[in-house]
Structure 1
Amino acid sequence: MIELRYPIIEDAESYFRILTEGKFEYYHATIPESVDLEREWIKRREYKRENNLEYNYSIIYNNEVVGGCNIRIFQESPHIGEIGYFIDRKLFNKGVASKAVKELERIAFEELGLIRLEIRMDPRNKASEKVAIKCEFEKEGLLKKVMEFNGMYFDNLLYSKVK
C-alpha cells in the first residue's frame, strides 16, 4: 500500500538520495546538486499548488519516502494535467509507480476536476511506458523533439486518459 502526501522539508534528503543514487537514464529533469537546493524546491511547491500550476506529492511506502510524483496543470488548457514521477530504484517492478499513478488519476479527476491526463516519456523509457499501459492510459503517438533539456531536444511518447 502506498500513500501520497504533500512534500515536507524533511523529504529533501530522501529525494536527493533517490535522484542522485539512481541511474535515471531517460529522466529529463534537473537532478538536485545539494540537499539544500532540494529543500528550496520543496518550499516552492506550496506556491505552485496555491496557483493551480502543479500538485506535488511524496510517495510513502512502508512509512518511508520512496519517490515523488506530480500533476502539472497545462496553463493554456487548464482542464489538462500531465503526470510525472520518480521512484527509488530498489522498488522498480514492485507496482509502486502504478499505484502512485492510479492515485494521481483519482486526485486529478475527482478532486481537481480535470478532464484529461497525460503521461509523456522518452521512447526508450520502457519502464514508464509499462506503467502507462498497466494504468490503462491510451497511446496517442510520438511527439517529435517536443522536450528540450540542457540544450538538446528529445522525442516523447504520449499516453492519455480522459474522464
Structure 2
Amino acid sequence: MSATPATPAIAWNDELLTRQPQMDATHREFVEHLVQVESALGQSDTVLLPRYDALVAHTVEHFAQEDRWMAALGFAPQNCHSMQHTQVLAVLQDVRRQHVDEGKTDLIGRLLPELMQWFENHAQAADAGLAGYMEEVGFDTVTGAMARPPVAAETADAGCGSATC
C-alpha cells in the first residue's frame, strides 16, 4: 500500500485477525498506536515521544499478556514466540534511547514500516498459531483454565505456537 497524505502507510487489515477476540482487540490497539506514531513523524519530540512511549507501554503489556497465556498453556519460558517479544522490546527501547541521547531522529520513522512488516508476519504465524492452540484446548483467557487440556508432555513447548518455527 502506498501512502498519501490522507492514507497512512500503516493500517489495520483483516489478514491480521487471529480469531481470538482479546488478542485481536489488542492487535488493533497496537496498530492504532503505530498509526498515532506515524502521524507524529516530523513533529516535535513533545508530540512524537509521548506517542512513541504509549506504543512502547502498550507493547510491553501486549507481549506480557501473550507470554502469560503461553506460560499457562505450558510453553517453555524461552520459547521462540516469547524470544521475539523480548527482541522487539529491546529494539523499541534502543530506538528511543538513540533518538533522545544520540539525536538519531530518523530512527523512529525508519522503524515503523519494519515493525509493521514484522508484526504482520508475527500475527499471521506465531500469534495465529497461539490463538489456534488456545481454541484447541479451550483456553479461557480470564481464568487460565483449559476445557480440553492436552496430555501432559515431558517437556514444555519451546516453539512459537505455529508450525513455522
What is the TM-score normalised by the length of structure 2? 0.27
Higher helix share: 2
Higher relative contact order (CA 8 A, sep 6+): 2
